[in-house]
Amino acid sequence: MSRRIIPGTRPTRIELLKIRKRIVVAGKGHELLQEKLDAMVMEFFRLRGERERLRQAMEEAFAAAYPPLLRAGMVMGERGLDIALGCAAPAREIGAGTRTVMGTAVPALRLPPPGTGEPGYPLAAHGADLDEGRRRCEEAVRAALRCAEAEGALVRLAEQIATTRRRTNALAYVLLPSLRDTAAYIEGYLEEMEREDLYRRKRTKAIRAEAEGA
């Protein structure tokens, strides 16, 4: 495998010290990024499970809303049911913002408390079936909104995971190997210079000894 030497590196002891410090810093940075990546992956799977739970709750709520609405329609007629549902209370305000998950801003919804607000029709006149169907539909809509919120968080978290993984891999497979190869190159160069210097000193000493003995 070819060595990856940082271009323009001067093979000096000062440069070697700088490279060794960079190796320590890059190593710590890699550890921190890897820990963050592992935590984000765990949170991603937790959110995915939450999304599936919400999706199931939404489907169950819609399924539960159908029978009472069907019974109400049989009593009131299709037109009467449409009129009653059209008289339902106005939609309550839903706030949109962001929250932070593992340092990543993800979409967040502010929903009104469940069960707040009164229907726009008299319960006595329309019966419990219509009210139950309306309540079940509201539960389904809330679950659908929370499901969409979780989906948005998953998308943003997946993007951040990909970015963090690229940075982690860049440190592990590009920067750190090049720093280590560069440090090894400087160490080898300095060792070779020391050997040559030692050889010259020994050779000079031998020549002087020969000259003094002549």
pLDDT per residue over 39-91, tens digit each?
999 999 999 999 999 889 888 888 888 888 788 777 777 676 665 665 555 55
pLDDT per residue over 140-190, tens digit each?
888 888 888 899 999 999 999 999 999 999 999 999 999 999 999 999 999
In which region does residue 110 sit, left (phi positive, over 0), alpha (psi from -120 to 50) or beta (all else)?
Answer: beta
The per-residue pLDDT for 212 is 73
Residue 2 falls within a domain, yes or no?
Answer: no
Determine contact, residues 63/140, Cβ cutoff 8 Å. Answer: no
Residue 48 falls within a domain, yes or no?
Answer: yes
Residue 5 falls within a domain, yes or no?
Answer: no
CA distance 156 to 149: 11
Residue 213 falls within a domain, yes or no?
Answer: no
> 0.75 exceeded by the pTM?
no
pLDDT: which is higher, 98 or 117: 98
Residue 54 falls within a domain, yes or no?
Answer: yes
The residue segments making up the domain with residue 74 are 13-205
The enclosing domain of 20 has a CATH number of 1.10.287.3240
| Cα within 13 Å of Cα(161), Cβ side | 15
Number of domains forming the structure of the chain: 1
SS3 category, 63: helix
Residue 117 falls within a domain, yes or no?
Answer: yes
The per-residue pLDDT for 124 is 44
Question: What long-range pairs does 66-70 form, CB within 8 A, spacing at least 24?
Answer: 66/133, 68/128, 68/129, 68/130, 68/132, 68/133, 68/136, 69/129, 69/130, 69/133, 69/137
